[in-house]
């Protein structure tokens, strides 16, 4: 979101910069997720057990959920009138205990739900033992479709750069009275 705001505030045409800022944000999220997947794939090809790969992947995936849950529990403790940042060291240890126990229990509950979901889907670490109804491979039509989408995107950006292809943008701007 910070990148959206930076791009929104730094480019001269404020309303026109929002799609670019959103695109930058999407690319950053995609790049971050691909980096984690690439590193784990390399580690597994070097001999890391698949169980560890799944555990690391789930660990990375639950970091955001854990921070949200910590914030919810902290807000709930504040709503009950509990001082979550006392000055006294002993009281700070009590507050930490009051926060960590619900977080730990919620994490255990979430891990049980994930393990049940994995077992229900019949997940197996042995990739060679998996069966598929049909193997998916890229065909000529798939490559043509990808090429067409990329060409349309680049063409749209070039037309927009020269001020030719912003017809839809002008309609939207006229609707909002800009």
Domain boundaries, the chain: 1-61
Using CA atoms, how far apart are residues 18 and 173, in angstroms rounded to an integer? 13
| Single pTM value for the model | 0.45
Query: Tokens at residue 51, please?
Result: 């169980």
pLDDT in tens, 64-94: 788 888 888 888 888 888 777 877 888 888 8
- By C-alpha distance, which of 123, 137, 143 is closest to 58? 123
Give pLDDT, residue 140: 94
pLDDT in tens, 121-135: 777 666 666 666 777
Using CA atoms, how far apart are residues 104 and 36, in angstroms rounded to an integer? 25
Q: Is residue 103 a contact partner of residue 70, using CB atoms and an 8 Å limit? A: yes
């Amino acid at each position: 979101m910070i990148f959206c705001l930076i791009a929104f505030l730094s480019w001269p045409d404020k309303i026109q910069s929002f799609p670019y800022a959103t695109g930058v944000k999407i690319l950053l999220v995609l790049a971050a997720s691909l980096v984690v997947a690439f590193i784990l794939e390399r580690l597994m090809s070097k001999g890391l057990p698949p169980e560890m790969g799944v555990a690391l992947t789930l660990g990375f995936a639950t970091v955001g959920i854990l921070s949200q849950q910590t914030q919810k529990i902290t807000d709930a403790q504040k709503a009950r009138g509990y001082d979550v940042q006392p000055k006294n060291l002993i009281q700070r240890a009590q507050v930490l205990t009051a926060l960590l126990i619900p977080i730990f229990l919620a994490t255990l509950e979430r891990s049980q739900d994930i393990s049940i979901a994995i077992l229900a889907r019949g997940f197996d670490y042995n990739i060679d033992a998996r069966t598929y109804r049909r193997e998916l491979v890229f065909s000529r039509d798939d490559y043509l479709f990808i090429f067409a989408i990329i060409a349309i995107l680049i063409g749209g950006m070039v037309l927009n750069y020269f001020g030719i292809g912003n017809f839809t943008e002008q309609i939207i701007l006229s609707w909002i009275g800009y």
